[in-house]
Amino acid sequence: MDRLIQANGQPHYGIFPVAPGLINYRDFDFRSPMGRKLGALAKWRRFHQFQYFGLISDELIGGCALANLSLLGVGFVYLFHPASGRMIERQFKLPLGFGSQFSQTPDQGVCELRSGGNLLRLENSAVPKEKRLLVELDDGTRIDVCFSEAQPAFQPLCINTPAGVNGWVYAQKVAGVRCRGHVRSALGDFDLTQIDAFAHHDWSAGYMRPETHWNWACLSGQAGEQRVGLNLSCGVNETSFTENCFWLDGELLKVDTVRFAFDRDQPLQPWLINSHDGQVALRFEGRGLHKERLNVGLLASNFKQIFGQFSGVLRPIGRPELRINNLWGFVEDQYAKW
């Protein structure tokens, strides 16, 4: 599929074997809830896009995100050292996104944010099929990490679902891949190959609900003889299709709807995450937290990303169950008005 939006102005919907070449949102026949045709300004205002790169190992946890919210460009990065409990984190907000750029080609292009002496950059390359994160901060922190979807072969989840009465959300997810590179920071210097680090990645864009909430869970690591990745969500992509899945040695296995049970006021307390079809039964124990709050009228966000450890079981249909024992990963609880 060369383009997500068809000649009639409507998106392709479903789960795709490969990513669309272009998220051509300007060609979308965007209408008001009452059916009035909306113009270029409304298309720009309501289109939102974000990209996230996560880093997971027993010795170092990291996350970096960039978001284009039309009125605001947002970025954050953090590193957490499990052994000491120490953490580095930075947040950036750019009015109207000045100082940022975003590509609408999921498998090719650059998304980046520059603020003073700080750079957050996410590069997607089709040949070779790689994703790269480069972070350079004015305190000397440097993160340079990449992973391949070709060696060994990996099947990303590529999905587009309707959202609300007049929107849609395209999402492309990867988890359970080993990564390579280096991190230099006040927490220490790390060779990611030597510490057996894994990565996960999220590229999402579309006309999301103007007021929304979601929970999300992701893990990446080695369970027994298998590389395992997990992506579960509740609140965004569930109209007709879901983004819930896990990967075993790069093979994508779909999962039914999921339930997140947790205490919103105490997000570091245990979370229970179960799928309706019984393929997922996990307990998550939080070890640290990155959070942001924003309330400026037209835009609001209450965001918590908790990193910690998963235990439990995955039960792929027709295969032996897989025990998960203290694998590191993430959960999220987010409210957004945009």
Put the strands of the sheet holding 100-101 in their side by side order: 100-101, 109-115, 118-125, 130-136, 142-148, 180-185, 188-191
3-state secondary structure of 90: strand
Structural contact between residues 259 and 281, judged by C-beta atoms closer than 8 angstroms: no
Full domain range(s) for residue 191? 14-337
Give tens-digit pLDDT for 294-314. 898 889 999 999 999 999 999
Q: Is residue 304 included in any domain, yes or no?
A: yes
Contact of 325 with 311, CB cutoff 8 Å: yes
Residue 3 within any structural domain of the chain: no
Structural domains of the chain, count: 1
Q: What is the pLDDT of residue 308?
A: 96
- Residue with token string 């994160």: 133
Query: For the chain, which residues score pLDDT lower than 50?
Result: none
CA-to-CA distance for 253 and 114, rounded, in angstroms?
A: 37
Which of 185, 181, 93 has its CA nearest to residue 139? 185
* pTM as predicted: 0.95
Strand bridging mode 226-234 / 211-223? antiparallel
Residue at 2 is within a domain: no
> Minimal CA–CA distance to 203: which of 179, 170, 231?
170
Residue 71 covered by a domain: yes
At residue 267, the pLDDT reads: 96
Flag whether 325 is in a domain. Answer: yes
Q: How many CB atoms lie within 10 A of CB 83?
A: 10
Residue 327 lies in a domain: yes
CA-wise closest residue to 67 among 30, 101, 22:
101
Determine the pLDDT at residue 35: 96
Instruction: For residue 98, give the 3-state DSSP assignment.
Output: coil
Q: Kind and range of the H or E element at 46? A: helix 40-46
Q: What is the dihedral sign for C-alpha 185, 189, 191, 197?
A: negative
Beta strands in 196-338 (DSSP E): 198-206, 211-223, 226-234, 245-248, 251-254, 258-261, 271-275, 280-295, 300-314, 322-337
Residue 230 in any domain: the answer is yes
CATH code: domain of residue 22: 2.40.370.10
Task: Say how far apart CA 336 and CA 338 lie, in whole Å.
Answer: 6
Residue 285 domain flag: yes
- The Cα 90–Cα 29 span in angstroms is 38
C-alpha dihedral, 115 to 125 to 65 to 83, nearest 10° = -110
Count CB atoms within 10 A of the CB of residue 167: 21
Q: What is the pLDDT of residue 294?
A: 86
Give 126-179 pLDDT, tens digit per residue. 989 999 999 999 999 999 999 999 989 999 999 999 999 999 999 999 999 999
Please tell me the predicted confidence (pLDDT) of residue 296: 85
> Which of 48, 1, 25, 28 is closest to 334 using CA atoms?
48
Total number of residues shown for the chain = 338
Q: What is the pLDDT of residue 277?
A: 97
